[in-house]
Amino acid sequence: MSITVLGAGAFGTALAVSIGKERSVTLWARDAGSLAENRESARLPGIELPENTRVVADLDTALNADTVLFAMPMQSLSQFLRSISVSLVDKSLVACCKGLDLTSLQGPATLLAERCPDSKAAILTGPSFATDIAKGLPTALTLACSNEEAALKLQKSLSTTNLRLYRTTDFVGAELGGALKNVIAIAAGIVMGAGLGDSARAAVMTRGFAELSRFATVRGARPDTLMGLSGFGDLVLTCTSDQSRNFRHGFALGKGQATDTNVTVEGVATALAVLNHVRNTEIESLLPITTMVAGVTQGQISVANAIHALMSRPLKEE
């Protein structure tokens, strides 16, 4: 089975490194020339591309594969799919990004399935940092695919010595767990940046997971998926490590510092997308952390006022 990774950011390159250590893989990059020559990405300094990893700039060449991994920001995926002229019929298309489309509220795998109905869509998600994968450190991820036969083939072809994949057919749960945990990670970062302490972070993580579960189950996610790697597992990782872009973004906001506009922070768009979807519905009042994250990241409310609003909510049962 031939494999292509589209996108030479940190995560896409890390996947190409991990897979390339054991089998052939093609990595599509806009700056393919320098990457192919130097065999090292500025996103992953000190990590060398294996000999089995071929770097190309031509998209048509890259798409000449049985399995295509889409490792690009979620908000770029829709437009990118519209730009593809090569047929994707009968290919396995694996989303390797997290988030929700601002317009449709679709997750990446759902978007792939809708735009490419004659392909086999899947999503690879879960608690992972690109540097850990590239260094060969043990990492477990969820592979969600509704086609059982395709899932088995993908699980076998994408698993490596350090990358262990678990299958599920719950598309929605895997997508929403991976997307919504980024919102809670921003909140956890704000808490730590504002100096509120680990107890407050634990409360945000716990209540944030309750919010995540409320929204995702209404959308059709299975509770067991949300309790797994793509939900609870990913939430724990991104809320407790400064390797997380979303956590760092929240930390800077909590500190009152400027944020890096060159870094993709999917949780910002996801919080906005969720609130736009639930506005004026019963579930809106059940998402207080998401509401505050959206307000703070959009500059509509201060960190101090957001904290006061959350602590002043009516007392209730858990």
Q: How far, in Å, are 34, 91, 111 from residue 67 at the CA level?
A: 25, 6, 17
Q: Are strands 67-70 and 53-56 parallel, antiparallel or unpaired?
A: unpaired
| 91, 98, 120, 181: the active-site residue | 181
* 21 flagged as catalytic: no
Identity of residue 190: I
All residues at 6 or more sequence positions from 60 whose CB lies less than 8 Å from its CB, including other chains: 85, 86
Q: Tokens in use for 243?
A: 């390797």
Contact 52, 39 (CB under 8 A): no
CA separation for the pair 199, 205 (Å, rounded): 10
Phi, psi of 56 (to 5 degrees): -135, 155
Other residues' Cβ atoms within 10 Å of the Cβ of residue 304: 10
| Residue 292 structure tokens | 């505050």
Extract the runs of DSSP E, i.e. beta strands, from the chain.
3-6, 25-28, 53-56, 67-70, 92-95, 120-125, 139-145, 163-168
Q: How far is CA 291 from CA 187, 205, 271, 285, in A?
A: 10, 15, 7, 9
Catalytic residues: 181
